């Protein structure tokens, strides 16, 4: 039983002290620590009784009491504590000493005047609270008594020597008794000789200002040398270290002087910090204006302050303050200071929630600034939580939202899954390009489609791209037509030579006479590019593999496997200008116009050719194909049938004979003559059988 009461209380202490980065702060050892249950970071001030004197132990206990009872935003925040016979523990918010902080800032280029102005503002405000509200004297103000938290805000600590200005029942030894080096910070006058109760603290405030800008104070006389103290602060600094204690200002008065127009503490950073401290009692209109102005000033604010002070206020304002879209710009600016893990934890949940908002201003701001956070969004969140809300923008009645939604697809497309990208998105793009009443939106849809083409699967590209860009080429909006041309050029690697010749070049050629000069220029550039590819394959078919397209497979297959109504047949007809019912220039026979119901009676001959001239036919057709696309703009229309017959006659030269010994042409003529005679005989028989015509009878002849 007695062993229970004798147990070491430090074992039940809820905080763990980390051994690294320990610093000396007066009689205390400052260590980093964490809460055992949650891992929350803290700072732990430790005083070992066995290593100190009686006076130091007395000061440690006094500091423990003051830190626990004094509560102010600018005074070091007490979290927990433990007092035993062997040691004292004071647990506070995580902080570091001001000296260590300034040294770290010097390695980065030095602390800015904005940061120092706000830090001094906080220390003076804490001193004013002690002097004017609590009627206490600090008696220990200096670099060693100031600490800096994660947000870069300065906190007043070192409460070991705090006494009441009305007299304490127990007197504490002055700092110079504990540490003789501190004597150089004492004011020149003797204690109690003239001036107000705060004059000693105000003098030490002047010493603190000197050390912040110039480093450690070697001697009291060095205060006369201004060094790097800013000109705006010099007049007020001189009042603090004046030899006459009666002219030293009250801390509140000093703060007011520095906040006057042109003063050292009169700047946007201090103004923003003060507003954030009182944001809960501000009117909604004031908050809106503040967040609008904040984004312009954030670039000059310290990084740590933005991460740990501004960001929580922004998140709170969105979550509970109904700040709306106005917080987005400063939120994303602050987000660039976060690590990927911090961004995922703090900002991504807010962004996901924002996308589900019905506020149009919120949605359009998110779309406009997506580039700042898209890299932190994983594919699962994009497809399940963000894209389903974004697609509503395609059908929004506000053109600005539709346009921004289209533009956002450039960033979202790489993260979309198969269904959302190749089905859902393409469905919306098709509707926008064909039906949207805004030309710029149709244009941007075409541009976006060209840029996201690499992410589409091959089958979807085959079905969509040529049709979409061809439709754009016929758009009434000139920029859309130009976008269609650029779309063809940007995605040229996805088209076969057959598609380039059959579908793309004809479309581009029509744009060479477009009313808009820019469209014409882009069309000519694209035509040259596609023709260059065709010419390369024509000159050296072995390069076809490099282009990745089977050109010869499209045009030079064995003719026995090609249908009569083929691309090659049409090329021949157009290249020779063979019109329906026109006499052939290579034959002495006149082409006879067939009866409308006699197509099946015609003997068109075999589409096979003799081996002796098969290569000639293939070469002829190949070059006529290229010739056709050069003159396609003439828009000539010809009939395939007679062009095929013409070329059969030209090439065969009536050398193809039937088993009866007659040429095929003679055989056809003979059959036609026999058929004519047969019909005449039938008419004569019917006429003879019916006898003379009666009234109203139809004459057959």
Q: What is the chain's Cα-based Rg?
A: 46
Q: Between these two residues, 194 and 105, which has the higher pLDDT value?
A: 105
Q: Which of 120-124, 160-164, 694-698 has the lowest mean pLDDT?
A: 694-698
Residue with the two structure tokens 């003063």: 263
Given a contact cutoff of 8 angstroms between Cβ atoms, the answer to whether 113 and 233 are in contact is no
Enumerate the domain spans of the chain. Answer: 9-94, 97-269
**Each residue's pLDDT tens digit, 444-482:** 999 999 999 999 998 898 889 999 999 999 999 999 999
Q: Please tell me whether residue 220 adopts helix, strand or coil conformation.
A: helix
Write 310-316 long-range contacts (CB < 8 A, 24+).
Answer: 310/272, 310/276, 310/334, 311/335, 311/338, 311/346, 313/276, 313/279, 315/346, 315/350
Q: How far is CA 135 from the centre of its chain?
A: 55
Under the banding of pLDDT at 50, 70 and 90, the label for residue 168 is low
Please check the confidence at residue 35 and state whether its pLDDT lies above 80.
yes
Residues present in the chain in total:
701
| Residue that wins the pLDDT comparison between 22 and 701 | 22
From residue 117, how far is each of 70, 108, 147, 464, 604 by CA, in Å? 24, 18, 15, 61, 99
535 exposure class (CB count in 10 Å sphere: 0-12, 13-18, 19+): exposed
* Confidence class for position 390, pLDDT limits 50, 70, 90: very high
Inform me whether the pLDDT recorded for 649 exceeds 70.
no
Confidence of residue 442 (pLDDT cuts 50, 70, 90): very high
Residue pair 409/425 in contact (Cβ under 8 Å)? The answer is yes
Cβ-count burial of 326 within 10 angstroms (0-12 exposed, 13-18 middle, 19+ buried)? buried
pLDDT above 90 (res 355): no
Q: Which tokens sit at 575?
A: 């290249």
pLDDT greater at residue 598 or residue 685: 685
Separation CA 454–CA 487 (nearest Å): 12
448, 407 contact by CB (below 8 A):
yes
Q: What is the DSSP string of 162-205?
A: -EETT--SS----HHHH-GGGGGGS-SSPTTSSS-TTHHHHHHH
User: Cβ distance 530 to 505 under 8 Å?
Assistant: yes
Structure-block tokens of residue 465: 């791209």
Token pair listed for 11: 């074992």
pLDDT value of residue 573: 27
Q: How far is CA 414 from the centre of its chain?
A: 12
Q: What is the largest CA-CA distance in the chain?
A: 159
Structure confidence at residue 660 (pLDDT): 54
pLDDT-derived band at 546 (thresholds 50, 70, 90) equals: low
- What value does the mean pLDDT take over residues 510-514? 94
pLDDT value at position 496?
A: 87
pLDDT value, residue 4:
45
Distances from the Cα of 209 to the Cα of 25, 179, 237, 240, 565, angstroms? 19, 21, 8, 10, 95
User: Count of CB atoms within 10 A of residue 144's CB?
Assistant: 20
Q: Which residue has the higher pLDDT, 637 or 524?
A: 524
Per the prediction, the chain carries an average pLDDT of 78
- Give the pLDDT of residue 383: 92
Cα 147-148-154 angle, rounded to 5 deg: 85
CB 328 within 8 A of CB 365: yes
Only one residue has tokens 């039937």, namely: 658
% of the chain surpassing 90 pLDDT: 42
Cα–Cα distance between 324 and 354 in angstroms, integer?
9
Report which of 502, 515, 418, 517 is spatially closest to residue 460, judged by C-alpha positions. 418
Both tokens assigned to 149: 């938290």
Q: Is residue 443 pLDDT above 90, yes or no?
A: yes
For residue 697, is pLDDT > 80? Answer: no
> For residue 148, what is the enclosing H or E element?
strand 146-149
Query: Dihedral of CA 52/54/57/62: which sign?
Result: negative
pLDDT at 642: 35
d(CA 618, CA 463): 30
Q: Confirm if 42 and 91 have CB atoms less than 8 A apart.
A: yes
Cα-based distances in Å from 659 to 612, 651, 663: 21, 20, 9
DSSP string spanning 443-506?
Answer: HHHHHHHHHHGGGS-HHHHHHHHHHHHHHHHT-SSHHHHHHHHHHHHHTGGGS-HHHIIIIIHH
Rounded (5°) CA angle 495-498-502: 105
Bridge partner list, 44: 31, 91
| 292 contact partners, CB below 8 Å, separation of at least 6 | 326
- Looking only at the bridges linking them, the beta strands covering 78-83 and 28-35 are unpaired
Query: Which pairing describes strands 28-35 and 15-17: parallel, antiparallel, or unpaired?
Result: antiparallel
The CB density around residue 500, as the number of other CB atoms within 10 Å, is 24
CATH superfamily of 97-269: Transferase(Phosphotransferase) domain 1 (1.10.510.10)
Most confident of 41-45, 669-673, 691-695: 41-45
Q: What is the DSSP string of 77-98?
A: PEEEEEE-SSEEEEEESSEEEH
| Candidates 3.40.50.1100, 3.30.200.20, 3.30.70.20, 3.30.70.980; CATH matching 9-94 | 3.30.200.20
In the chain, count H helices and then E strands: 33, 11
Say how far residue 545 (Cα) sits from the centre of its chain.
Answer: 38
Q: Rounded to whole angstroms, how far apart are CA atoms 193 and 297?
A: 47
What average pLDDT does the segment 347-364 reach?
A: 86
Parallel, antiparallel or unpaired: strands 78-83 and 41-48: unpaired
When comparing pLDDT for 203 and 336, which is higher?
203
Query: Does the pLDDT of residue 575 top 80, yes or no?
Result: no
pLDDT of amino acid 619: 38
């Amino acid at each position: 039983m007695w062993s229970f009461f004798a147990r070491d209380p430090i074992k039940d202490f809820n905080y763990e002290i980390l051994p690294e980065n320990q610093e000396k702060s007066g009689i205390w050892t400052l260590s980093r620590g964490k809460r055992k249950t949650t891992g929350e970071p803290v700072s732990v001030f430790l005083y070992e009784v066995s290593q100190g004197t009686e006076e130091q132990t007395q000061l440690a206990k006094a500091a423990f009491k003051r830190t626990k009872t004094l509560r102010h935003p600018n005074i070091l925040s007490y979290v927990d504590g433990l007092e035993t016979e062997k040691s004292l523990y004071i647990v506070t918010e995580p902080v570091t000493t001001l000296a260590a902080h300034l040294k770290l800032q010097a390695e980065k280029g030095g602390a800015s005047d904005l940061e120092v102005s706000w830090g001094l503002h906080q220390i003076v405000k804490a001193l004013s609270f002690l002097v004017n509200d609590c009627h206490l004297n600090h008696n220990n103000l200096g670099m060693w008594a100031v600490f800096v938290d994660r947000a870069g805000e300065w906190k007043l600590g070192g409460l070991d020597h705090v006494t009441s200005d009305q007299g304490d029942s127990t007197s504490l030894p002055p700092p110079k008794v504990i540490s003789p080096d501190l004597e150089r910070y004492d004011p020149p006058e003797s204690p109690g000789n003239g001036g107000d109760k705060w004059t000693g603290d105000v003098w030490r405030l002047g010493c603190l200002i000197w050390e912040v800008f110039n480093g450690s104070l070697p001697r009291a006389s060095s205060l006369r040398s201004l060094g790097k103290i800013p000109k705006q602060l010099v007049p007020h600094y001189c009042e603090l270290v004046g030899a006459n204690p009666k002219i030293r200002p009250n801390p509140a008065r000093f703060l007011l002087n520095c906040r006057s127009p042109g003063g050292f503490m009169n700047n946007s950073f201090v103004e923003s910090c003060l507003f954030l401290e009182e944001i809960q009692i501000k009117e909604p209109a004031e908050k809106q204006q503040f967040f609008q102005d904040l984004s312009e000033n954030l670039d000059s604010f310290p990084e740590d302050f933005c991460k740990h002070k501004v960001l929580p206020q922004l998140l709170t304002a969105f979550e509970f303050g109904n700040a709306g879209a106005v917080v987005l710009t400063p939120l994303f600016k602050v987000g660039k200071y976060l690590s990927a893990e911090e961004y995922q934890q703090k900002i991504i949940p807010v962004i996901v929630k924002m996308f589900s908002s019905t506020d149009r201003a919120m949605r359009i701001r998110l779309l406009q600034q997506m580039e700042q956070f898209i890299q932190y969004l994983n594919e699962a969140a994009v497809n399940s939580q963000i894209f389903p809300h974004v697609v509503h923008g395609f059908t929004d009645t506000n053109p600005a939202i539709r346009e921004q939604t289209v533009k956002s697809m450039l960033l979202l497309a790489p993260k979309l899954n198969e269904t959302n990208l190749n089905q859902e998105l393409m469905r919306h793009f098709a509707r926008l390009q064909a039906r949207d009443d805004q030309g710029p939106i149709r244009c941007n849809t075409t541009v976006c489609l060209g840029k996201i083409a690499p992410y589409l699967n091959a089958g979807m590209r085959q079905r969509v791209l040529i049709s979409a860009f061809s439709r754009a080429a016929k758009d009434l909006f000139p920029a859309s037509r130009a976008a269609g041309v650029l779309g063809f050029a940007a995605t040229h690697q996805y088209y076969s030579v057959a598609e380039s010749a059959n579908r793309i070049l004809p479309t581009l050629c029509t744009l060479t006479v477009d009313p808009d000069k820019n469209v014409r220029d882009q069309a000519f550039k694209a035509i040259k590019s596609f023709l260059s590819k065709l010419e390369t394959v024509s000159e050296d078919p072995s390069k076809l593999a490099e282009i990745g397209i089977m050109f010869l497979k499209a045009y030079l297959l064995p003719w026995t496997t090609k249908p009569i109504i083929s691309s090659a047949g049409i090329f021949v007809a157009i290249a020779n200008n063979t019109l329906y019912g026109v006499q052939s220039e290579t034959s002495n026979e006149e082409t006879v116009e067939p009866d409308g119901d006699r197509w099946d009676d015609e003997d068109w001959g075999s589409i096979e050719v003799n081996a002796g001239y098969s290569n000639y036919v293939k070469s002829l057709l190949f070059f006529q194909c290229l010739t056709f696309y050069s003159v396609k703009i003439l828009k000539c229309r010809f009939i395939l049938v007679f062009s095929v017959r013409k070329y059969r006659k030209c090439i065969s030269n009536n050398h193809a004979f039937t088993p009866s010994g007659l040429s095929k042409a003679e055989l056809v003529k003979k059959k036609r003559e026999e058929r004519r005679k047969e019909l005449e005989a039938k008419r004569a028989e019917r006429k003879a059988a019916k006898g003379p015509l009666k009234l109203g009878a139809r004459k057959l002849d």
